[in-house]
Structure 1
């Protein structure tokens, strides 16, 4: 099992050992002594950690998070990372994201389209890590477009949802196509399916070329 980032621990909640970060609860998750359970069934990045993928996260990194939604996962990231820029396209979940950011001074919500990084390039500082959690067609292209924020060797942590690309194709074929597209901007380091936490999802760790 890979080492967890500083600020992420395994804690017991209701007799069960689970991943946890220290911060205010966001989505009704169990809490204990200021720590909040990180539900891997609601978080692809949490699932990557639970399945033992080496994400390269150490804690304190500057993070660009694409597809932040209501803040379920990005709030955990902001609990242990440095400046965390959270890009979300839809207005309704962004309202919940703003609530999650109130107690997190390092979390910066951006109501923007991750497919158009030029619209937030003037706001986001250079990042150590891009987290790709956008469940839309062209997931690899979105990751490639946002590689501009990473220095050479910067990390991409992506969760590719096969059904967002093609609802009928074999997921393995979809993953192969998306990985081929990612290789235009990144060197693949590790991939792993995210079952049993997320069906037909592939976790990807890659470095910017």
Structure 2
């Protein structure tokens, strides 16, 4: 049956009405085919149905089934997950249970240089990073990165100051010409929020200075109070900055008033606190958010208007700096009182 099938498949061509000649070694079969073709071509075609029945070759889909081998190849690619796992191991090994903490090691030495303003430092690298000397080593306030550097006789820990989360940090990174907040001075901080920037001001003034942090929101004030428990130079005050008389017994005369209250009457708020607490010749720093004062006017117009209001209150602006690209439509105004 196999020989007959092979002969049939060799003598048959699909789509042609006539049959091809077979091999000379099998004349009897060839004659029979010719006769069949002369008798009735159509019947001969149907008789050739043997090749169609020879679906055996198609049934030989076993090779296609061999596609299982290709599927196996997919398993090999999946093995790449193993490489990803190794990468994860490397990442996981970097923290060593000390989140956001890096040491000054031989493999990657950390270089910290003083900023041109006292109390602030720069961590040198691909880009300079603003840092302050941590007043409470081993403690982070808002999950910021910390770096430990070997000094002359002791290890010093520095905290990264993110300018995108702090108006004062953005002011320093933006190239402000003067910074009255320095070690040993007293600062009244209006709009302290959770204490993110206050903690860095605390680092700047050091143990000899004091930061009076005023925040109206009780929820933010709770976080501020918890932060101040570990920083002896921070005095948290949960009160309305529009009514400085309510906390006059807690605040001494200060060298600097910093305001980040984002209110339409923020110039008046700064002036009221300056009249009550700021020394003559002291400095004020106000962060102005244009949209909070007048959302319909251009930012430049709003900034100029606020500066005019300050002048009428004996607060003389000395410098104005926009906070782009860290904070949109924001500006810092520095000036002296009287």
Shorter-chain TM-score: which interval? over 0.9
Q: How does 1:183-202 map to 2 (within 5 A)?
A: 183-184=311-312, 185-202=314-331
Distance 1:161 1:117 in 2: 22
- Structure 2 counterpart of 1:40: 163
Other structure's SS at 1:93 match: helix
Contact kept in structure 2, 1:64 and 1:127, CA below 8 Å: yes
How do residues 144-159 of structure 1 correspond to structure 2 at under 5 angstroms?
A: 144-147=271-274, 148-159=276-287
State the Cα deviation string for residues 38-82 of structure 1 (Å, max 9, x = none).
111111111111111112233221000000000010110011211
Q: Is the 8 A contact 2:181 2:204 kept in 1?
A: no
Residue in 2 aligned with 1:78? Answer: 202
Matched, 1:10 2:134: no
Higher relative contact order (CA 8 A, sep 6+): 1
C-alpha separation between the residues in 2 aligned to 1:192 and 1:16? 22
Equivalences, count: 206
Q: Which has the higher strand share?
A: 1
**Structure 2 unaligned residues grouped into runs of 5+:** 1-114, 149-156
1:94 counterpart residue number: 221
Is 1:204 matched up with 2:327?
Answer: no
TM-score (normalizing by structure 2): 0.59
Residue 52 of structure 1: aligned partner: 175
Larger Rg: 2
* Contact 1:48 1:55 (C-alpha < 8 Å) held by counterparts: no
Deviations 1:74-131 (A, max 9, x none): 1100112111000000001111111221221000100011111111111100000000
Aligned match of 1:105: 232
Distance 2:324 2:129 in 1: 17
- Report deviation, 1:16: 4.4
Q: Which is helix-richer, 1 or 2?
A: 2
